[in-house]
């Protein structure tokens, strides 16, 4: 099977018709278990070069009372690049159904759309897309290069579950994304 196809698929609507707007879809579910520390959670492994059209998470189990400074980054073990601002966003006690969204440039914090109240969220300027697309590239020589979710907690320990989603398009013949 061609690279990039084996570990992802198009999302489908209720009629089983492929939804292709964001490209291939990969998901990864992570349980937050940090204990009074900053935690780095690898969520997607990148091979080759990938255009990311959507990166977001949905809270599936309420998050602990103190989860702060949450952000996304790219890490090849020697260098890290911000996908959202490393100053982060507070996610404390985020309710089930809340969303964490990368919708702006890397210099902006990720957006928390809490399900604790109704919500309208749209692009901040006149962009035509809600999500802010970006390109990620694996470090040469097959070095593990991961999209990571980073958060800080003072809970001992914290709790909660987030299901992460990545909409992506392969840009090279070796491009793929693996859920970690």
Structural domain range at position 139:
11-118+129-179
Residue 6 pLDDT more than 60? no
Based on the structure, what is the number of domains in the chain? 1
Is residue 2 a part of any domain in this protein? no
Task: Supply 72's token pair.
Answer: 């996304």
Residue 3 inside a domain? The answer is no
In a domain, 41, yes or no: yes
Number of H helices, E strands in the chain: 0, 13
Ranking 59-63, 116-120, 140-144, 148-152 by mean pLDDT, the lowest is 116-120
Q: What confidence tens digit (pLDDT) does each residue in 83-132 have? A: 999 999 999 999 999 999 999 889 999 999 999 888 888 876 655 678 88
Phi and psi of 167, rounded to 5°?
A: -100, 125
Residue 1 lies in a domain: no
Report if residue 167 sits inside a domain. Answer: yes
pLDDT (0 to 100) of residue 141: 87
Does the model's pTM come out above 0.95? Answer: no
Compute φ and ψ for 136, nearest 5 degrees.
Answer: -125, 145
Q: How far apart are CA 147 and CA 166, in angstroms?
A: 10
User: Could you tell me if 160 and 94 are in contact, meaning their C-beta atoms sit under 8 angstroms apart?
Assistant: yes
* Residue 20, pLDDT score: 72
Q: What is the dihedral of CA 144, 75, 33, 121, to 10 degrees?
A: -120
Is 43 within 8 Å of 148 (Cβ atoms)?
yes
Average pLDDT rounded to a whole number, residues 17-32: 87
| CB neighbour class for 69 (10 Å; exposed up to 12, middle 13-18, buried from 19) | middle
Interacting residues of 125 by C-beta distance below 8 A, sequence separation 6+: none
**b/e for 89-113, b at 16 or more Cβ within 10 A?**
bebbbbeeebbbbbbbebebbbbbb
Q: Does residue 58 sit within a domain?
A: yes
């Amino acid at each position: 099977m061609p690279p990039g196809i084996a570990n992802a698929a198009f999302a489908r609507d209720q009629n089983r018709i492929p939804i292709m707007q964001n490209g291939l879809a990969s998901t990864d579910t992570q349980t937050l278990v940090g204990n009074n520390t900053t935690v780095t959670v690898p969520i997607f492994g990148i091979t080759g070069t990938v255009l990311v059209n959507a990166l977001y998470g949905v809270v599936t189990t309420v998050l602990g009372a103190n989860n702060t400074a949450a952000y996304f980054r790219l890490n090849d073990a020697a260098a890290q690049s911000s996908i959202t601002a490393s100053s982060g966003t507070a996610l404390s006690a985020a309710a089930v159904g809340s969303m964490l969204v990368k919708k702006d440039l890397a210099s902006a914090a990720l957006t928390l759309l809490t399900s604790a109240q109704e919500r309208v969220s749209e692009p901040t300027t006149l962009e035509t897309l809600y999500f802010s697309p970006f390109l990620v590239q694996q470090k040469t020589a097959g070095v593990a290069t991961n999209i990571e979710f980073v958060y800080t907690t003072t809970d001992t320990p914290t709790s909660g579950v987030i299901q992460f989603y990545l909409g992506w398009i392969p840009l090279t013949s070796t491009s793929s994304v693996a859920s970690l």
